Amino acid sequence: MSIAKKSELFSRLVVRYRRFLTAVVLVLLVLGWAAFFRLHLTTDVAALLPDRGSAAISDFRLLAKAPLARRIVLRLRAEESIGTTELLATVDKLAVRLQPPFFSQVIAGPGSGSAENLFGFALSEWPNLMNPADYSEIKKLLLPDQIEVALRQNYTKLLQPLGFLQKKMILADPFEFRNLILPRLISLNPVGKARVVNGHFMSADGRETMLLLATPIAITDFNGAKSLLDKLNQVLAEVVPAGIEPIIISGHLYTVANAAAIQRDMKVVISASLLALLLIFLIFMRRRQALSVFLIPVIILGPALALTGLVDGSVSAITIGFGAVLLGVTIDYGLHIYFSLTGRQRPPGEIVTSLVPPLLGAGLTTAGAFSVQLLSALPGQRQLALFAIFGVLLALGLSLLLLPQFLRRENDSPDFNPLPTPCKSVLLKKGLGGRSRRIDRLLVSVWLISLLLLFGASFKVDCVGDLRQINLVPESLRQAEKSLKSVWGEVRGRALVFATGPTLEEALQVNEKLYIHLRQEFSPAEIVSLAPVLPSSLIQARNRRNWRMFWTSERLDELRQSLISTGRKIGFSATAFTPFMEALTASSPGLSESYWRRTGFSPLLDALIEKSPQEVTIITLIPDRTANLPFFAEAQIMPGVRLVSPQSFSREVSGAVSSDLKRFIVLALIVVSLILLILLRNFYQALLALLPVLSGLLSMFGIMGALGISFNLFNLVAAILIIGVGVDYGIFMVYRLFRGRDAATEKAVLVSGLTTLAGFGVLVLARHPALNSIGLTVLLGVGGALPTVLWVLPALAAMQSRGE
């Protein structure tokens, strides 16, 4: 049976059982909306990250464990008239005021007792921390001439006005063994250029201090983030005096800034879209029943989401937000039925019958174009494709089954008079044979030259996967991030290395091996690690054995006699350095995690040690530099080690987007071409139907490449949309040119393109990068496809009919 016969049979069945079909469809729609309200919604941004053949999602979750990633950085910058005492007093007042429920922890520095604790650490932990390289330095310090030099320097210090304050330290450590230990504490400093003043972080220039604020408010919680920042700004206004500038850096600021920008953009975009749709309505439609066409996307939204949730288990808010706009293109099917029925050029039944093949072809090609995204590495895109397919099929069903029933009622009345419209078909009114040969050739020539130029420029488009680049970053926040790095060093952009073991002891052993490996590439100041100050019990036991072996009774006796004889000449008593000699032979219980917590480093340990019933993970921070990528690859193969680099993560997502782009464009074109060949059964006509797609894609890629605009995952979805709507336009125009469709086709195609631009293209007015990129993609794509379908296809068809 031919397609025409099948279409006629379909139309007869719809007319015969229209009441029953209407009731069934309405019941199914009600059930779909009921299921929609029971959907489980998710807001996880991981939907935008690849999960097939990629570690991007796990890397993203690991990056969120960076010590400062989850904290608000509050900087206080003082003018020259403000002293350090007043600045630190302001910090202490803020720490008292920043309390739950908004703030769970305030860290202003290691703590006020840290200096005394660290002095005790430097004098008591020599046996646990001295490594073989340190002993060569000790031997140099114990040479006879060096002993005398050291004692004379110490004696001079004691004679100074404040010498009594140093007496205890000098007598306990006359050779400054502490200087072999204290430099290792730099590994506990997550803020690169910070120094500690009275237990507070202080910048190198002494003008700025910092607080790290922990909060239970999730970064993605817009309302919570807004309330949090309002509370913080309120406290700052009440506590911080004039002359001190507070600077806030937080992921919550990005959330609020982006949400506010989107809300502001939506007011502009919706207003512009409604105005554009109103103009389209007044110019081309101007009938009350036309509103039923615009209701189709709204009616199918709930059921389409319900079906998506039924298949996928849950629905992402990203799918709802973007997919709801995406379904706006489903109005096209209703527009073709509306213009054909209201044109009243043939009986309604005959009109609907003639519309069935192109409508089915358009729906199937659009669904086929989106179906290739089911192969995407990004779960969000797979779900969006599923939603789009369900939406297209539901819209197609409603347009064919219900819309003709509503439009026929008024059209069939004896006094029905279709309103004239100012846009009559002029492209084909003389027929293909009556067209100007010169104009047709000129149109095709200009079109081909334009495509060649766009093709060359399209190779300049690059793909970006960094989610930050499609977020709005206020200039004030950009400058704050820049000055943070300048004043405090690399604080927020470092790579993370995870050393894992079943127990803390085994994790520490892995961490030690990792630290040795990292020291081949980085200086101690560039590595934030527990390894230099908290070795494993195994290493500490080895160090203590080496300590005892070094300090033999002969060496101890020799040193004791040298201290007595040399010290007596300088002015020290014979027992002056007894504390030092006792420390050399004192037993040490060994360093532990609890020791460092008592010393004031609990917040840092909480950030660097993660415990679960199954394993313990220790985090190390290192610079994230492109030049270190080969070294990072070597670190990854170490047992128990996992490295996560922000730069590598961004490249991985960019690679997934780029790979999806190339695959999807090719696969979508293959799927669409096969459907066209099956539908049209004519290679030349199928090729003509694809030309609007080709023009749309080359316009989009070519202009983006020429302007240096990068391609992101939002552009990718819009590109598939261009393929879908472009081939729809092509199918209807081919039916118009070769299969006897009426002149309403051109008007329907034009209005379809205009409504797509009204719904999507106006997003180009948005300031938010993600929304703007969608609008730009659709504007360029549809802007390239419409002229091709309205002008170039008729010209090519006319040239073919003339045998050119």
Distance CA 144, CA 141 (A): 9
Q: What is the mean pLDDT of residues 646-666?
A: 78
> So what's the pLDDT on residue 446?
94
Class of domain 3-38+255-469+682-801: mainly alpha
**pLDDT tens across 721-765, in order?**
889 889 999 998 998 888 765 657 788 888 888 888 887 778 888
* Residue given tokens 């706009």 in the structure block: 325
What pLDDT band is residue 427 in, cutting at 50, 70 and 90? very low
> So what's the pLDDT on residue 414?
44
Residue 161: C-alpha distances to residues 156, 158, 164 (Å): 11, 8, 8
State both tokens at 645: 């680099």
**Alpha-helical runs (H) found in 17-130:** 18-36, 56-63, 84-97, 114-124, 126-129
Nearest to 395 by CA among 32, 751, 747: 32
Amino acid at 121: F
What pLDDT band is residue 7 in, cutting at 50, 70 and 90? low
**pLDDT tens across 477-518, in order?**
888 888 888 888 877 778 889 999 999 999 999 999 999 999
Q: Which residues contact 312 (CB under 8 A, 6 or more apart)?
A: 383, 386
DSSP state string for 520-539: TTS-GGG-B-STTTS--HHH
Distance CA 382, CA 47 (A): 9
**Residues of the chain with pLDDT > 90: what percent?**
32
Do 128 and 540 meet the contact criterion of CB atoms below 8 Å apart?
A: yes
Residue 471 has pLDDT above 80, yes or no: no
Do 728 and 358 meet the contact criterion of CB atoms below 8 Å apart?
A: no
What pLDDT band is residue 219 in, cutting at 50, 70 and 90? confident
More confident residue, 400 or 209: 209
Stretch among 22-26, 126-130, 496-500 having the lowest mean pLDDT: 22-26
Distance CA 772, CA 764 (A): 5
Distance CA 397, CA 401 (A): 6
Beta-bridge partners for 72:
213
* pTM for this predicted structure: 0.72
Residues in the chain: 804
Amino acid at 775: G
Q: Strands 105-107, 609-611: parallel, antiparallel or unpaired by DSSP?
A: unpaired
Distance CA 91, CA 108 (A): 7
Beta-bridge partners for 105:
214
What pLDDT band is residue 424 in, cutting at 50, 70 and 90? very low
**pLDDT tens across 237-280, in order?**
999 999 999 999 988 888 888 888 877 887 888 788 778 888 88
State both tokens at 695: 């023009």
Our CA angle for 504, 505, 508, nearest 5°, is 85
> So what's the pLDDT on residue 99?
92
**From start to end of 187-250, where are the E strands?**
195-197, 200-202, 208-214, 244-249
> So what's the pLDDT on residue 113?
47
Q: What is the mean pLDDT of residues 105-112?
A: 75
- Per DSSP, 710 falls in state P
What pLDDT band is residue 704 in, cutting at 50, 70 and 90? very high
Distance CA 606, CA 486 (A): 27
> So what's the pLDDT on residue 511?
95
**pLDDT tens across 144-166, in order?**
999 999 999 999 999 888 788 88
Q: What is the mean pLDDT of residues 67-81?
A: 87
Nearest to 185 by CA among 112, 131, 119, 107: 119
Do 719 and 777 meet the contact criterion of CB atoms below 8 Å apart?
A: yes
Do 723 and 782 meet the contact criterion of CB atoms below 8 Å apart?
A: no
Classify 719 as helix, strand or coil: helix
Q: What is the mean pLDDT of residues 78-87?
A: 92
Distance CA 148, CA 522 (A): 37
Distance CA 770, CA 747 (A): 32
> So what's the pLDDT on residue 43?
62
Q: What is the mean pLDDT of residues 665-671?
A: 89
Q: How far apart are the first and last CA of the chain?
A: 34
- Per DSSP, 186 falls in state G
Our CA angle for 486, 489, 495, nearest 5°, is 130
> So what's the pLDDT on residue 429?
44
Do 639 and 510 meet the contact criterion of CB atoms below 8 Å apart?
A: yes
> So what's the pLDDT on residue 489?
80
Count of CB atoms situated within 10 Å of the CB of 154: 25
Beta-bridge partners for 196:
201
Mean pLDDT of the chain: 84
Residue 313 has pLDDT above 50, yes or no: yes
Residue 605: C-alpha distances to residues 387, 502, 640, 647 (Å): 45, 18, 20, 26
The domain ranges of the chain are: 3-38+255-469+682-801
Distance CA 586, CA 548 (A): 10
Q: Strands 315-316, 41-42: parallel, antiparallel or unpaired by DSSP?
A: parallel
Residue 415 has pLDDT above 70, yes or no: no
Which value, to the nearest 10 degrees, does the dihedral of the CA atoms of residues 427, 433, 439, 442 take? 110
Count of CB atoms situated within 10 Å of the CB of 487: 21
Amino acid at 798: A
**Residues of the chain with pLDDT > 70: what percent?**
88
State both tokens at 684: 């030349």
> So what's the pLDDT on residue 408?
61
> So what's the pLDDT on residue 21?
78
Stretch among 195-199, 221-225, 401-405, 418-422 having the lowest mean pLDDT: 418-422
Residue 111 has pLDDT above 60, yes or no: no
More confident residue, 63 or 422: 63
**pLDDT tens across 48-69, in order?**
677 766 666 677 777 777 777 7
